[in-house]
Structure 1
Amino acid sequence: MRIVIAGGHGQIALLLSRELARRGDLAVGFIRKPEQADDLRAAGAEPVVLDLERSSVEQVAEVLRERSADAALFAAGAGPGSSAERKYTVDRDGSVKLAAAAEQVGVRRFLQISTMGAGSPPRPGTDEIWAAYIDAKTQAEEDLRSRSLDWTVLRPGRLLDTPSTGLVALAPPPLAPGSVPRADVALVLAELLGSGAGGGSVLELTSGETPVADAVRALG
């Protein structure tokens, strides 16, 4: 299986690339900077230099077509310290562009990393940047749900850099707020891709008591 990942140099994407390689699959990761390529290769992924903000749907579609992609994953984000404007140009528009490209070339399986809190208006008094982030993620989810794709939206809780526990809580919203290691997010994504489970679902994810494979299997 070949999975094209937007945001291929992100922490979750690199962890996922290693897990996919371990399972015999291949990640193809979009990167903006050529100097990031070695990090992807070290994770077992194929790097493709492509700036999603500045590329057209047709350019993105061409990569999906050339790499014979079986699935696409939106894992990109403007990142800490970015402006409210870039929350929309990356976190919303990047997902819209990748999803449109997937539709264009017939790549039906599409996973989107969102965040807990998306799907509802930001709370009154929320910081402007965080409010823009939540709004951008919500709009990206709404766009994806409108498409004829086998989509899954994954909303992790607060992300941790701690080692994987392999134990999660995974369910449609609402799930009690919590945190989750990035490594466990990667494991859940790999299991969703490998099993095909969770199609047409918005799922929330935190650390919990259920092994990843069992939690994904329970989705039906």
Structure 2
Amino acid sequence: MAKIVIVGGHGKVSLLAEPLLVGNGHEVDAIIRKQEQSQEITDTGAHPVVLDIENASIDELAGAFEGADVVVWSAGAGGGDVSRTYAVDRDAAAHTVEAANKAGVDRFVTVSWFGAQADHGIDPENDFWHYAEAKYSADRYVQAKAKNWTILGPSTLTEDDGTGAVEIALPDSNVEHGEVARADVAAMIAAVVEKPETAGKYINFNGGGTPIDQALDALK
């Protein structure tokens, strides 16, 4: 059994991932921003931890990560406010890495976005440009600083039922950005936690036809 802390514990993907992780025998803490979100976390089998990551210090975050084996970053500002997008999706993500290192956490899993790259192609006049820039910056920080990191890059999220199968965009492949159910993103989180060999891998993916374990094993 591992102790796992999910940052952004009340997000739609996190609420789906938490019962999977608990079902796999892990102890799960879910960091949330509001006390009133606690019952939904408890209902998943996870333990709510109220902490505003946008304003928390690195020491406060490290305290929340004490004793954890894995930190999962699955938080986001949700768009709209540009300054908050950078404060959460870039700066708080970087602070979370620093805090995980300070707490001695050996594994870091982050949920990013399929298009988070330098040449993401988003028009600077589009409000989404700021999100793309923030995610790209955060991912580079994770790769440079986090211990045993895995970055998951799901494509456009849907509310469809999960299938337990994905299509991974391997390097130099022609797989383009598509769609994936949030439930399958949650299943990917649960799967990579069980597979330490996915450390050091940036995994862009869509919904697809290959069972998740099989798709991840093919990355070896």
- After TM superposition, the structure 1 stretch with the greater mean CA deviation from structure 2, 9-18 or 123-132, is 123-132
The SS at the match of 1:118 is coil
Judged with a 3 Å threshold, the aligned counterparts in structure 2 of structure 1 residues 172 and 140 are, in CA distance, closer, same or farther, namely farther
CA contact (8 A) 1:10 1:75 kept: yes
CA contact (8 A) 1:121 1:135 kept: no
CA contact (8 A) 1:6 1:29 kept: yes
1:70 maps onto 2:100 in alignment:
no
Q: Compute the displacement of 1:148 (Å).
A: 4.9
1:53 maps onto 2:51 in alignment:
no
Q: What are the superposed Cα offsets for residues 56-90 of structure 1, whole Å, 9 maximum, x if unpaired?
A: 0000001111xx2110011000014x311111100
User: In structure 2, what is the Cα distance between the partners aligned to 1:117 and 1:126?
Assistant: 15
Which one-letter code corresponds to 1:184 in the other structure?
Answer: D
User: In structure 2, what is the Cα distance between the partners aligned to 1:172 and 1:127?
Assistant: 30
Q: What are the superposed Cα offsets for residues 172-216 of structure 1, whole Å, 9 maximum, x if unpaired?
A: 456321100000011111010012132111110101110011111
In the alignment of these two chains, the number of paired residues is: 217
Q: What are the superposed Cα offsets for residues 125-151 of structure 1, whole Å, 9 maximum, x if unpaired?
A: 354320000000000011111115100
1:5 maps onto 2:3 in alignment:
no
The SS at the match of 2:142 is helix
Deviating beyond 6 angstroms after TM superposition, the runs of 4 or more aligned structure 1 residues are: none
Which one-letter code corresponds to 2:16 in the other structure?
Answer: L
CA contact (8 A) 1:197 1:216 kept: no
Match of 2:219 in 1: 219
The SS at the match of 1:15 is helix
CA contact (8 A) 2:108 2:146 kept: no
Judged with a 3 Å threshold, the aligned counterparts in structure 2 of structure 1 residues 99 and 124 are, in CA distance, closer, same or farther, namely closer
Scaled by the length of structure 2, the TM-score of the pair is: 0.94
Structure 2 unaligned spans of 5+: none
Which one-letter code corresponds to 1:45 in the other structure?
Answer: A
Match of 1:112 in 2: 110
Match of 1:33 in 2: 34
Q: Compute the displacement of 1:124 (Å).
A: 5.8
The SS at the match of 2:198 is coil
Q: Compute the displacement of 1:110 (Å).
A: 0.3
